[in-house]
Amino acid sequence: MWACDPVLTTGIVNSYQAAGPLFVQSLQTFLAAQCALAGDHLWPPDATQAVTDDPNYDFIVVGAGSAGAVVANRLSEVPSWKVLLVEAGGNPTVSTEIPQLFYNSMNTEVDWGYKPEPSETACKGYKQHRCAWPRGKVLGGSSSINAMFYVRGNKADYDEWAAMGNTGWSYEEVLEYFKKSENFSEPLTKENKKYHSKEGYLNVQKIEAAHPFEDVIIKAATEVGIKHLNDINGANQMGITRSYSTIKEGKRHSTARAFLSPIKDRPNFHVIKNGFVSKILFHPKSNKVSGILIQKDGKEIVVHAKKEVIISAGSINTPHLLLLSGIGPKEHLESFNIEVKADLPVGENLQDHVFFPTYFSTPTEHKFNTLPAITTAFSEYILTNEGIYSDVNPHRIIAFVNSSDPNAVSPEVQCHYLVLPPKIANLIDILGLHNLTEEVKNKFEEINENNSVIVVYDVLLKPKSKGKIMLKSTDPREYPLIYADYFKDPDDLNVLIRNAKKYILTLENTETFKQFGLKLNWLDIEACRGLDKGSDEFLACIAKEMTFSLYHPVGTAKMGPDGDKTAVVDPELRVRKIEGLRVIDASVMPSIVRGNTNAPTIMIAEKGADYLKKFWLKEHSEL
């Protein structure tokens, strides 16, 4: 980063000498603070030259995201193993490390910027009818650009995986791996120590200081029948709470900061940054993996794996790389004249958390002070890592509900509550970043011009609709075709509408919302005009126009037992019909979890790394 280069820093400071010693001193302090926040010295150095000199490694991990950073850390704990981690992006930036700026990374160099193919049943309010699917292209992957919610999902998720035949993946069996990665910021008590740990790399915190809007939301939610819950990752998931976050000392605690920074100088661990893996390589006339092919700076680098290659590139890039390498549906690969190494359902089983927003607005005279003076708050943050920018407050509130069964222990829908001050587009154009049409943007800005707005996301947790990922061409740089297929099964819309009517629309009638002048304020979109607001038809129209992804694609390299023809990997995450290759990331989920996917992905990485260690250390008696 430029602020950490002593020559450049000196040049910058010298150019402002005429401004006087006080200004120069302040500038030096400011540059030093930026360097401390996201300087290059915080991250592992690039090892391209070392790899070129000796391209032989025990393990190669492709992708330094939520899973890959964890896997590389754990494998390199064995001193005799030489481990290479390859990342298509570079180091985190100042913007990625500031918690409150979580939306600002969209459409930048740290975002792959994927978009599913056009749809007639969803995303109709977007240009080209294509929703936005941001994915992290940076050390830490999507954990470096997400909203930092630490949510593990429901116990039933993992018990369902085990019931499908995935031995070892029940809730009680995966709980130890959630705890292994966690450094829980609160005291461990008799009640919570079963679920939490202080021994891991990843900081998990919940700052109790509440913004007034958070209290308003929780109080109103209890009026419509949602229970107030303290720990969403404990014994019970149902209810509303302030979420735990992956933040530490006012900075984003991505897997890059948690798992890579502490081992950046580990001698048996190397990282190639800005290296694009274009193909998995095989030994001649066999299905045994030999290594990978990396494209970097116009050159190709072949790296050899003595033991295994681990693909942790995420639910889009992992299937894309497998398909390009001859692992996937036979008919699809042959249509591109790709040699078929293994006929497997790669790219199928795509699932995501889809939602539509509901807006409540309150006039300026009722608004809360949601943001202090922007420049003052930013300066405070850069110099102290404190203030409004150091957390995602007031956007931390989440709820898990089930309108079908008041006694349910697993939810149908997750609600996220976003708080926006008047004229939010002057600070960040959220709808513009998502590429929604001018009509939608203008209608929202009309509402937000003189109103504070609470946005409630109505998130479908267990979609019946499934999409797929396919090759568009054999050019590895050309993005694959993504078919989200939202609302393909009509039951998905029905679940969202039913829960919205019970737990979201009714907020307007609560005494709490009335007290603060908060009223439903639907966007006046032409496509839905003329329908009775609040009717099923109107809500379905809004959902199809204002479709959003919660950025949780999973399942495209499904895990399953022997005999499961829909599975790509076995329960130990080995790619079927291939030797020396595993997938360890969110793409192995057989079904999507009921909650945010970052914590479960880290758990999968911890468990996957443990499988590798047990296999190579115990079965091969290697230390």
Catalytic positions are 552
Q: Give the C-alpha separation, 72 to 263, whole Å.
A: 10
The length of the chain is 623
φ and ψ of 215, to 5 deg: -65, -40
* Tokens 């997400």 found at: 146
Give the residue numbers of the binding site for FAD.
Answer: 138, 277
Rg over CA atoms, the chain: 24
CA proximity to 37, closest of 244, 185, 247, 252: 252
**Segment holding 12, helix H or strand E:** helix 6-14
Which residues 6+ apart lie within 8 Å of 446 measured at CB? none
Cα 227-232-233 angle, rounded to 5 deg: 150
CA proximity to 58, closest of 80, 74, 73, 77: 80
Give the residue numbers of the binding site.
Answer: 138, 277
CA proximity to 42, closest of 311, 277, 251, 245: 251
Cα 426-216-594 angle, rounded to 5 deg: 85
Whether residue 146 contacts residue 353, with contact meaning beta carbons closer than 8 Å, is answered with: no
Q: Give the C-alpha separation, 570 to 583, whole Å.
A: 10
Question: Could you tell me if residue 602 is left (phi over 0), alpha (psi between -120 and 50 degrees) or otherwise beta?
Answer: alpha
Whether residue 90 contacts residue 271, with contact meaning beta carbons closer than 8 Å, is answered with: no
Task: Provide the 8-state DSSP code for 566.
Answer: T
Q: Which tokens sit at 67?
A: 């899973």
Q: Which tokens sit at 124?
A: 């109709």
Task: Provide the 8-state DSSP code for 313.
Answer: S
CA proximity to 323, closest of 339, 308, 309, 300: 339
DSSP labels, 111-159: B--B-PPP-SSS-TTBGGG---B--B-BTTGGGGTS--EE----HHHHH
Which residues 6+ apart lie within 8 Å of 173 measured at CB? 158, 162
